[in-house]
A and B are shown apart, each in its own frame.
Chain A
Amino acid sequence: MKTPLAALIAGVFGSAYLALAFRITTPSTGYAFVGPRAFPIIVGLGILGAALWIWRSPMNFAAPPIDTRRLVAAVGLFALYALLFERVGFLLSTIPTMMLMSRLLGSRSPLRDAIVAAGLTFAIYGMFQTVLHKPLPQGWLG
């Protein structure tokens, strides 16, 4: 990322964080020499300081090329997984997610991916149910 853009993002984030720090309510009663907003204000100023430092430190940084389509698909897939995990259940959401993620990671062996996904998912499910005693959501299978 080029220096001006990195500094700008850091500066905008620092300003927003600092503005929100000033909106933290300080209780009118109670015994505290330092209220709840003091530390966030210091951190906010620190972020702005870091943004300024970034601005003053030009850096020749070239990130390697990426496959944007795959990235967007993976981010979307994981978001969908997070949303459906409880509703659909661990088994029914994890197996297809793992298969699709393997595909996005470059796998061209759907059968192998399906076997590994099912095997690992059932193994994890069994371990959580029987060894760790932490039941995972059953969703539609419940």
Chain B
Amino acid sequence: MDILAAFSNIAGGFGTALSPLNLMFGLLGVTIGTAIGVLPGIGPALTISLLLPLTYGLDPTPALIMFGGLYYGAMYGGSTTSILVKMPGEAASVVTALDGFEMARQGRAGPALATAAVGSFVAGTFATFMLMLLAPVLVAITLGFGPAEYFALMVLALTTVAGLSMESPARTMFSVMLGLAIGTIGIDLQTGQARYTFGLPSLLGGIDVVTAAIGFFAIGEVLWAVASPEPPAETTALRGAVRMTRDDWKRSWPAWIRGSLIGFGVGVLPGAGATIATFLSYATERRASRTPDKFGSGMIEGVAGPEAANNASAGGSLVPLLALGVPGSGTTAVMLAAFQLYGLQPGPLLFAQRPDLVWGLIASLYIANVLLLALNLPLIGLWIRLLKVPRPILFSAVLVLSSVGVYAASNNAFDLIVVWFFGVLSFFMRRGGFPIAPTVLGLVLGPLLEQEFRKALAISIGDPTVFFTRPISAVILAAACVSLMWSWFRRGRGSGSALTHR
């Protein structure tokens, strides 16, 4: 591992990230990110989808820096409402509410918010550092990859989504396959044949990923909000200063470190996501504690660990996205769509062709962490006020912004029908216990998967054993099989999870 090269590259990256324009977009990203983290129901995937059509005219570097900051910011902001209102802004902050809200009830909201913010900073910085070191190593390894290996990698990403899903693996697998199916709509680029277009000329160009993502995430969320009664919020006031005692620091440090390691490790795995990282971290803290029975009654470790884990997983999930071009979560799938929108394909070539962008983005994540720490703790009162925005106004605004964004991208009212259709589909999928993010992931990866599949077979002159005779491809596909079998045996009998509703 050439650490010196990484440091030299990151120095160049800081040059890019610290330009006034990029710094401004970074600040905008972390501010929006924190706000959406605070607001329940509005997640980073939804917001990036909404912002994408508005950033068409921008240079890719500031736009992607903004999305990176937004992703990190959402992870920071999610803890605030978990601790003070017991209404997690993100699924990844559900665990934080267990002990965080109890701490707030005992008048210790300040230390809970402080350990969440400092832990997020520590974990975010650690994850960005690891991203900086690990991504070039992965890039060097994958330079020798051909279509068969890329095909295998994407299969692994999709099977891991089901294997590590917090919901039913069977229903998650259906969601993934549905995304792949939607991705086949339109003209086949190799032969010019129309597929699943039902005679509609507007479908010949295929389903635009951004349109589908807005339908699934934004419109689906609006319909969910309309149909569900407003959840009663249990609120505690913020009393005292947002600072930790010496004992709080002593208890938080090990939890931050464990949370950072777990979060980054889980984040790098495609499909695992921040939620599973927080649950794992919480379980680890309980096991490591001398008083595990006290968890749930206001233990600071129960806030420090999971909050570090969810931020580290955000950094971790950028490793496969940037180095391999393979997203592992809903948010990174939408970020891949953002790259593609600008005519860029993350992966080894991007590191060679646009080092300014890649290293600028990584450097901006360090800056985002510092900005978030500065924005979060002193301005906590301001963020809490956001919760006073009436739900009807918030969601009707999301509806309008979604529609305008989709229309502006194509100047075609047909896309509004498409977005409406996916919104309704998204609602009923959630009602049926089918997670949404894997469908968007499948939709983003589907066309790439098919392309690599066909390229590999073209190179092997139609020999399908190419996927098993090339050693790396065979190993990755074997891992995909193990992942599927693991989920079959582990939860073959299935269990539901309320997380599908988040």
The answer, among B174, B391, B416, B496, for a CB contact under 8 Å with A59, is B496
Q: How close is B443's CB to chain A, nearest CB, in angstroms?
A: 12
Q: How close is B156's CB to chain A, nearest CB, in angstroms?
A: 15
**Contact present for B432 and A47 (CB under 8 Å):** no
- In angstroms, Cα B496 to Cα A74, docked, is 28
Q: Within 8 Å CB of A3, what residues of B?
A: 494
The answer, among A27, A74, A113, for a CB contact under 8 Å with B222, is A74
Q: Within 8 Å CB of B423, what residues of A?
A: 78
The answer, among A43, A50, A98, A136, for a CB contact under 8 Å with B397, is A98
Q: Mark A117-142, 1 if CB is under 8 A from B, else 0.
A: 10011001000100011101100000
Q: Mark B409-437, 1 if CB is under 8 A from A, else 0.
A: 00101001101100110010011111000
Interface status of A92 (Cβ within 8 A of chain B): no
**Contact present for B177 and A46 (CB under 8 Å):** yes
Q: How close is A43's CB to chain B, nearest CB, in angstroms?
A: 5
**Contact present for B401 and A124 (CB under 8 Å):** yes
The answer, among B54, B184, B395, B430, for a CB contact under 8 Å with A43, is B184
**Contact present for A67 and B227 (CB under 8 Å):** yes
**Contact present for B226 and A74 (CB under 8 Å):** yes
**Contact present for A59 and B222 (CB under 8 Å):** no
Interface status of B57 (Cβ within 8 A of chain A): yes
Which of B21-29, B92-100, B189-197 is found at the contact surface with chain A?
B189-197
**Contact present for B495 and A59 (CB under 8 Å):** yes
Q: Within 8 Å CB of A9, what residues of B?
A: 432
- In angstroms, Cα B145 to Cα A125, docked, is 47
Q: Within 8 Å CB of A51, what residues of B?
A: 174
**Contact present for B399 and A78 (CB under 8 Å):** yes
The answer, among A50, A58, A97, for a CB contact under 8 Å with B173, is A50
The answer, among B195, B223, B458, for a CB contact under 8 Å with A32, is B458
**Contact present for B177 and A50 (CB under 8 Å):** yes
Binding site for A on B (CB under 8 A): 54, 57, 168-171, 173-174, 176-178, 180-181, 184, 188, 190-193, 195-196, 219, 222-223, 225-230, 390-393, 395-397, 399-401, 403-404, 407-408, 411, 413, 416-417, 419-420, 423-424, 427, 430-434, 446, 449-450, 453-454, 457-458, 461-462, 488, 491-496, 500-501
Extra contacts besides A33-B461, A82-B403 (13): CB < 8 Å:
A1-B431, A6-B171, A17-B196, A59-B495, A59-B496, A62-B496, A82-B419, A94-B400, A101-B226, A104-B226, A116-B393, A124-B400, A132-B57
Binding site for B on A (CB under 8 A): 1, 3, 6, 9-10, 13-14, 17, 20, 24-27, 30, 32-40, 43-44, 46-47, 49-51, 53-54, 56-68, 70-71, 74-75, 78-79, 81-83, 85-86, 90, 94, 97-99, 101-107, 112-113, 116-117, 120-121, 124, 128, 132-134, 136-137
> Can you offer 29 A-B residue contacts whose CB atoms are under 8 A?
A26-B191, A27-B191, A33-B454, A36-B190, A39-B184, A39-B449, A40-B181, A46-B173, A47-B177, A53-B174, A54-B171, A56-B170, A57-B491, A63-B431, A64-B501, A66-B227, A74-B222, A78-B219, A78-B423, A82-B403, A82-B417, A83-B413, A86-B413, A90-B404, A98-B397, A107-B392, A120-B397, A124-B404, A136-B408
